[in-house]
Chain A
Amino acid sequence: MSPSPSTSQPEGPESIAGLAVEELEQLLPFRRRALNALDALGGCCVLAGRGLMRGLRPPVEVGPLLDQVESLGVRSLSIATFTAVFAGLVICLQFGFFLGRFGVAHTVGKVAILTIFRELGPVLTALTVGSRIGSGIAAELGSMKVTEQLDAIRALGADPVKKLVSPRLWACIIVLPLLTVLADVMGMAAGAAVVDFEYHIPVVQFYESALDTVDLKDFLSGVGKSVVFGAIVGAVGCYQGFAVKGGTEGVGRATTETVAVSSVAVLVADFFLTKLLLLVLA
């Protein structure tokens, strides 16, 4: 008895094609995940663009913006200060120790302040304060979504992007650079104190060594980066909040995802911004 057509060519082209289809099917979840990630990135960028533009469109609503600056910024002062102080203490301890090994402990001021201005101040502030701000925004907007408050805004004739996204996004862009400046100052002061205490390098010498090397560009490059970090944190928080699905469980998921996504996005952006700034300012 001759074999049926379906089993007659087990080694033939059909089985190879079948294998290829099977492999492709295995790849589908990755493809779907990649497409979802691209979709989210695109959605986040569109929302950020609309939020920024509509915030400038008349009538410009200053009251809600100031409320957000107070809510997101003023209430983050303590976390920004603590982060900066202890980061400054640790970095100066480490630099003092290692530079001491090479007999150049007196240069600790310039190395530490350069590090704080260019990287530590903006990045640590964006990671700690940004996580707090971003997750707070996602939780608030997500809760509004699941309780139909976003629909209510639309039903009452208003634009949720202008009412909710614009003030939060602009507030993040204003607040994060200001907190970065605070972090720079606090980190520097804490570093100077610990260097004086541990390595007996006077505070004046700590700052004088820095003044030789560190200039305004170093300070401004860090503050400039924090403007972009602010936009990233605000945009991710707003997007995650607006995209909440599945009730309160969805709100929790959006909140934790905001912390992870905004932190990674800040670090990725930091690399490219640093590269760009080094090229421009060199």
Chain B
Amino acid sequence: MTDGDLIRFEDLKKSFGPKVVFDGLTLTVRPHETLSVIGGSGSGKSVLLKSLIGLVHPDAGSIEFKGQEITYYSEQQFLDVRRQVAYVFQGSALFDSLTVGENIAYPLREHFPKMSREELAERVARTLKMVNLPGIEAMSPADLSGGMKKRVGLARAITSDPEVILWDEPTTGLDPISTRIIEDLILRMKAELGVTSIVVTHDMPSAFYVSDRIALLANKRISQVGTVAEMQASRNSEVRAFLDARLPRAQSRGVGA
């Protein structure tokens, strides 16, 4: 691990029963960068994100965060990591029994139990404004469209000002406008707050738009990592197989490169 790395996955191994997900996966993430992890469905991209905050535990290997070995942290020890690392779930994972406002206030209540009601309300309103959904605090998640749910899930993740955000397929299934709002938010989080992001995605135009670097997860390990330009110019067969299957559509829309 170089001194500048914020996160390091080293020789990670993970299986679910007979299915091997990682077999010697190594990846580093630098501070303030946006790294996209691309790869086929079921290749373990979400498992990689979840292992960083202890929702999934690797069978072997090590995970370091800010120079600390966190692989075998207890649930209690992971609380400190989870304060600094937010997770945007693929399916939003909003709490059905709470209103939108209560959902967004949830991490604030957990991390800052002494925060006043007024400050909570102000933070919730500010975050909803950031995701272009002002004034919907009283609505129930059941009343929201898929795109709105995704943005509320995102608001919940960023409301406690995390240093790292893990985005699990943030633009999958969204209309182009919602997609662009989220892409711009990822860029704003980095530009204005210096947030480090790991974005798991299938959406290559999005990956090219928001990423500083892209990593391809294939054959149970990171096959190649590089900048957007390096990945597009790569002659690695796995990278080519993945990009060429997707690029024609992306390029025809004038996105990418």
Residues of chain A touching chain B, judged by Cβ–Cβ distance below 8 Å, are 59, 143-144, 147-149, 151-159
Contact = CB atoms under 8 A, between A and B. Distances in A.
A157 B91 contact: no
B93 interface: yes
Interface residues of B, number: 23
Nearest to B153: A152
Interface in B68-108: 75, 79, 82-83, 86-87, 89-91, 93-96, 106-107
Contacts of A153: 95
Interface of B: 50, 53-55, 75, 79, 82-83, 86-87, 89-91, 93-96, 106-107, 110-111, 113, 156
27 contacts: A59-B113, A143-B96, A144-B95, A147-B91, A148-B90, A148-B93, A149-B93, A149-B95, A151-B50, A151-B89, A151-B93, A152-B87, A152-B94, A152-B95, A153-B95, A154-B82, A155-B55, A155-B86, A155-B87, A155-B89, A156-B106, A156-B107, A156-B110, A157-B83, A157-B107, A157-B111, A158-B110
B57 to A, nearest CB: 12
A135 B229 CA distance: 54
Given A59-B113, A151-B50, A157 B79 contact: yes
A143 B94 CA distance: 12
A158 B76 CA distance: 10
A168 to B, nearest CB: 12
The 9 closest A-B pairs by CB, nearest first: A152-B93, A148-B93, A155-B87, A156-B107, A157-B110, A157-B82, A158-B110, A149-B93, A151-B55
Contacts of B90: 148
Nearest to A149: B93
A177 B204 CA distance: 59
Contact of A158 (B86, B93, B106): B106
A208 to B, nearest CB: 50
A155 B82 contact: yes
Contacts of B91: 147-148
A155 B83 CA distance: 9
Contacts of B94: 149, 152
